[in-house]
């Protein structure tokens, strides 16, 4: 059964970050309305040229973008934010990430820690703002990097490939 499809173009500018995305979003997969999704996210940064890429993948989606003047943590966090942003509105969004410090930050619930993280990293402000207004349930899992997990390896490869064409 063909599903309903939605295409949208995103031009996002946050600080030094510019992303131009054509996102393909299917409201139905295999004739079933999506109510939850599990995705793997990753970020990759090239210190020598000051550019990096991020990715959000699963068996049905592969989204990626480029960021200038970021750092490895910001790329990891931005990938998580984009997963949250794109799938916001679903009942449950499970995000698997190989950045231990990021997953730890995302699981805090005291306002003092949240304020500290938001002051330190602008993208954390975007994440916590979205979490505060969304009706979606966000679940964060730490996965081991470079351990043979097929989707985590794909997220890593797509994040690196997203900026290689610019070099």
Q: What is the pLDDT of residue 126?
A: 92
Q: pTM surpassing 0.85?
A: no
Tokens of 131: 């979490």
Beta carbons within 8 Å of 140's beta carbon, 6+ residues apart: 80, 95, 97, 103, 106, 107
From CA 32, how far away is CA 22, in angstroms rounded? 23
Burial class (CB within 10 angstroms; exposed 0-12, middle 13-18, buried 19+) of 145: middle
The domain defined by 35-164 folds into Nucleotidyltransferase; domain 5 (3.30.420)
Pairing of strands 92-97, 36-46: parallel
| Contacts of 133 by beta carbon, 8 Å cutoff, 6+ apart | none
Where helices occur in the chain by DSSP H, the ranges are 72-87, 100-106, 111-120, 122-133, 150-164
Summarised one tens digit per residue, pLDDT across range 63-114 is 888 888 678 899 999 999 999 998 888 899 999 999 999 999 999 888 899 9
- Nearest Cα to Cα of residue 163 among 85, 75, 103: 75
What ranges do the domains of the chain cover?
A: 35-164
The predicted-structure confidence for 128-146, as pLDDT tens digits, reads as follows 999 999 999 999 999 998 8
């Amino acid at each position: 059964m063909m599903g309903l499809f939605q295409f949208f173009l995103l031009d996002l500018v946050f600080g030094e970050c510019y992303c131009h995305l054509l996102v393909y979003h299917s409201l139905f997969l295999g004739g079933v309305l999506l109510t939850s999704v599990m995705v793997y996210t990753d970020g990759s940064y090239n210190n020598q040229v000051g550019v990096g890429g991020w990715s959000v993948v699963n068996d049905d989606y592969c989204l990626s973008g480029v960021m200038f003047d970021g750092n490895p943590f910001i790329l990891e966090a931005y990938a998580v934010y984009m997963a949250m942003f794109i799938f916001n509105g679903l009942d449950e969004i499970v995000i698997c990430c190989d950045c231990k410090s990021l997953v730890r930050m995302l699981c805090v619930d005291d306002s003092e820690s949240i304020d500290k993280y938001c002051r330190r990293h602008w993208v954390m402000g975007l994440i916590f703002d979205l979490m505060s207004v969304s009706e979606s349930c966000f679940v964060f899992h730490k996965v081991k990097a470079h351990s043979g997990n097929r989707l985590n390896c794909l997220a890593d490869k797509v994040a690196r490939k997203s900026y290689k064409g610019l070099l």
